[in-house]
Structure 1
Amino acid sequence: MTSLKRIPSEPGIPTFAESGVPGYEATNWHAMIGPKGMPDAVVERVANEVRNIVARKDVSGTLAKSGVFPESDGTPERVRELVRKDYDQWRKVIIQAGIKAQ
């Protein structure tokens, strides 16, 4: 389990930290990303609609059963933070490992 905490659908699978690798986290996330220059009003409307859909009990329940736990703050700013964080994290790994595009 590469998240920082166990997921309810797989309670018997320990996290990396519980297995002796503290601080390790590698998660996936999903986001809607539009083209550069998209009007702020459109960005906010799409973000609000997605938040409303994800907040529905039937949707959030289905997601939770799959181990997907949407962030409560799914704002455009938060998505930018996630992209930047992952970019910086994995860029460092790629450089240190000497990985090259082929």
Structure 2
Amino acid sequence: MEKNALHIWPRKSFMMIALPNPDGSFTCTLFWEFEGARSFATTKTNDDVRRFFGEEFPDAVPLMPTLLEDFRQNPTGSLVTIRCAPWYYRNKV
């Protein structure tokens, strides 16, 4: 993979991105549903994790030697949208 580029694996209702780090490694983020038939909530075992990534991101799996540890040890957070109007104050953004 290009070491100085953002990589994106878009899917229908979710995506994974890989952001480059100065040392040439990448930080991956999975944007995925918390709950549902296929979600963080239903991906419980190591086999579930391997199966999901193997089916959805087969080209990325060989590049993630610590996939299982990373999936288990990193927190699951929420992505939020904040809407406000006006989005400026005294003619300044």
What is the TM-score normalised by the length of structure 1?
A: 0.29
Larger relative contact order (CA 8 Å, sep ≥ 6) = 1
Name the structure where strand makes up a greater proportion of residues.
Answer: 2
Name the structure where helix makes up a greater proportion of residues.
Answer: 1
What is the TM-score normalised by the length of structure 2?
A: 0.31
